[in-house]
Amino acid sequence: MIPALVAALLASPPALPCAPRDAAAPGAAVRAHACELLGAIDRPVPASAWRRLGPSADEVLAEIAASDELAIRRARALEGLAARGGPAAEGVHRALAAAPDAPALVRRAAIRGLGRLLPAGDLPAALRPLLDRDADVRVRSAAGETLARHAPETSCTWVRAHAAAVPSDAIPLERALAACDARVR
């Protein structure tokens, strides 16, 4: 069910999920509140605010994350999904992290979300391919940093080796390398 939802959302994203809608429509209040949180650019949204949205928020946030909304709203929707940790969260994050046509901001948010959603032992399999082969250096950097912060025991040696093997990635991976170095001290 969840993979089908993710596939459907990515196949035909709605135009603008936060556009004004019929206030009497089912879930309109949850959608409106979620959109308010997505528009809060002047302050961070605490995880507790995302969790208070209720169970129907997962579908709304997944829809927004996969939509044509502004990249910042999509990234925020991914943050909300990760904070909620619902059943659809992992699939949406995996799909958007691997979507080469998604904005880098959205892909990086999906990668950071996977760091919160997956156990440390599962992160290398999910993120090493992005660090190794993704065309976007910003995506490779986010993958390296997430691995270094959430799975340092299994990833730091590998992140260091990647930075040494791909000199052009050494600067973008500075934060990942610093996170690895902080673990050693």
For residue range 121-180, what is the model confidence (pLDDT) as tens digits?
A: 999 999 999 999 999 999 999 999 999 999 999 999 999 999 999 999 999 999 999 999
Whole-model pTM above 0.85?
A: yes
Whether 43 and 14 map to the same domain: the answer is: yes
What integer is the mean pLDDT of 68-83? 95
Q: pLDDT tier at 120 (50, 70, 90 boundaries)?
A: very high
Whether 78 and 50 map to the same domain: the answer is: yes
Number of structural domains, the chain?
Answer: 2
Residue at a domain's end among 102, 130, 159: 102
Residue 157 counted as domain residue: yes
Cβ partners under 8 Å of residue 176, min gap 6: 141, 144, 145, 147, 148, 149, 159, 163
Whether 5 and 69 map to the same domain: the answer is: yes
What span, in angstroms and rounded, lies between the C-alpha atoms of 5 and 20?
23
In terms of Cα–Cα distance, which of 28, 101, 38 is closest to 64? 38
- For tokens 């829809």, the residue is 63
The sign one gets for the Cα dihedral 143, 146, 150, 154 is positive
Whether 156 and 91 map to the same domain: the answer is: no
Residue 65: domain span: 1-102
In the predicted structure, residue 14 carries a pLDDT above the cut 50: no
Residue 14 counted as domain residue: yes
Answer for the pair 135, 104: CB distance below 8 angstroms, yes or no.
no
Whether 131 and 77 map to the same domain: the answer is: no
Residue at a domain's end among 46, 72, 102: 102
Whether 164 and 94 map to the same domain: the answer is: no
Longest Cα–Cα distance of the chain, Å, equals 57
What integer is the mean pLDDT of 29-45? 89
- What are the pLDDT digits (tens) for 40-57? 878 889 999 999 998 889
* Percentage with pLDDT > 70 across the chain: 87
